[in-house]
Structure 1
Amino acid sequence: MASQGLTDEEVSAVCKEGHPMTQDYMMQQTTLRVKDPARSLNFYTGILGMTLLQKIDFPAMSFTLYFLGYEDKANIPEEKLERTAWTFSRHGLIELLHNWGAQKDKDLKYHHGNKAPLGFGHIGISVPNLAEACSYFEKCGVTFVKKAYAGKTKNLAFIQDPDGYWIEILNPKNIFLDLYCVLLRSKDKNKRIVNS
């Protein structure tokens, strides 16, 4: 049987106040390697509704970066240098990295981290209505790893992008109740919890 994770006291002991110089740091991007940029761009823009903020080619190194996020297109600067600075000042972007020619390699498959060896887990997308979002994803033919309301956690779903990366879909108003119910169930397996 696995041991318990860190106690609240252990967490408090190891988490420190950041150095004052870090007060303006932010989580800016997560990079995902993609095999076919056309499929990935269609998925992240057409299905997930993100906006392509910037595309940057690196011919000397034979790769392209695509930066996507939930931003209003009207706010994207047109001038290239200003657009670059603006893009790198956004919070929580997805950076798709395409190595040129990867789409021609029929054997190439990127490791998503959810099978051995375990590593990267998933990104998360917050939606206002989980049931509607999942219904829409089903109509779009998106692959589900876990459907909403299935399994131990009811108020979230996991889908996959074209390269197999997992994406958690959740509603922030319902996620706490779900996590709380799982916590209560794990303490008393015989106890019935509402919505469990």
Structure 2
Amino acid sequence: MKSTFLHANLNVFDLQKSLAFYDKALGLKEHRRKEAPDGSFILVYLSDGATPFELELTWLRDRTEPYNLGDNEIHLAVRVEDKAAAHALHEEMGCICFENRAMDLYFIHDPDGYWIEILDR
């Protein structure tokens, strides 16, 4: 059997805040969206414009408090063109949550606390 990655899903508490974060921090743009006819959920698929992989953000209308991510032992990883410039932007945004200089990588966190690993070429 052969399979191909399509998307990964993250549930978000504040969709507009998350969309603004992913656009500014990583340049991910809304590619498509699906809204429930009754307004109970919105799915927004973000794209990097270069690969077919999408990040699906799910917003649930009836959610009344932020998600509990537990130990948050999961993360996404992205490769950036200019890591120094990305690091400066992320530092300015205040979203760097962990750095490992020995491994030449760092992590940022989104508004819901999900971690994203930042790597260079």
Q: Give the TM-score normalised by the residue count of structure 1.
A: 0.56
The answer on 1:110 being equivalent to 2:67 is: yes
Residues 69, 112 of structure 1: alpha-carbon distance in 2 compared, 3 angstrom cutoff: farther
The answer on 1:92 being equivalent to 2:53 is: yes
CA-atom RMSD in angstroms: 2.0
Shift of 1:60: 3.8
Aligned pair count reads: 121
**Structure 2: gaps (5+ residues):** none
Take 1:110 and 1:59, find their aligned partners in 2: how far apart are those partners?
Answer: 24
Q: What is the letter of the counterpart of residue 145 of structure 1?
A: C
More helix by share: 1
Residues 97, 32 of structure 1: alpha-carbon distance in 2 compared, 3 angstrom cutoff: same
Residue 12 (structure 1) aligns with: none
Shift of 1:44: 0.8
**Structure 1: gaps (5+ residues):** 1-18, 73-89, 173-196
- For the 8 Å contact 1:134–1:148, the answer to whether it is kept is no
More strand by share: 2
- Counterpart mapping for 1:104-143 below 5 A: 105=64, 108-112=65-69, 115=71, 121-139=74-92, 141-143=93-95
Higher RCO (C-alpha under 8 Å, 6+ residues apart): 2
- For the 8 Å contact 1:142–1:160, the answer to whether it is kept is no
The answer on 1:54 being equivalent to 2:32 is: yes
Structure 1 runs, 4 residues or longer, greater than 4 Å off:
none
- For the 8 Å contact 1:130–1:156, the answer to whether it is kept is no
The answer on 1:67 being equivalent to 2:45 is: yes
- For the 8 Å contact 2:39–2:61, the answer to whether it is kept is no
Q: What is the letter of the counterpart of residue 137 of structure 1?
A: H
Residue 98 (structure 2) aligns with: 146
Take 2:114 and 2:100, find their aligned partners in 1: how far apart are those partners?
Answer: 18
- For the 8 Å contact 1:156–1:169, the answer to whether it is kept is yes
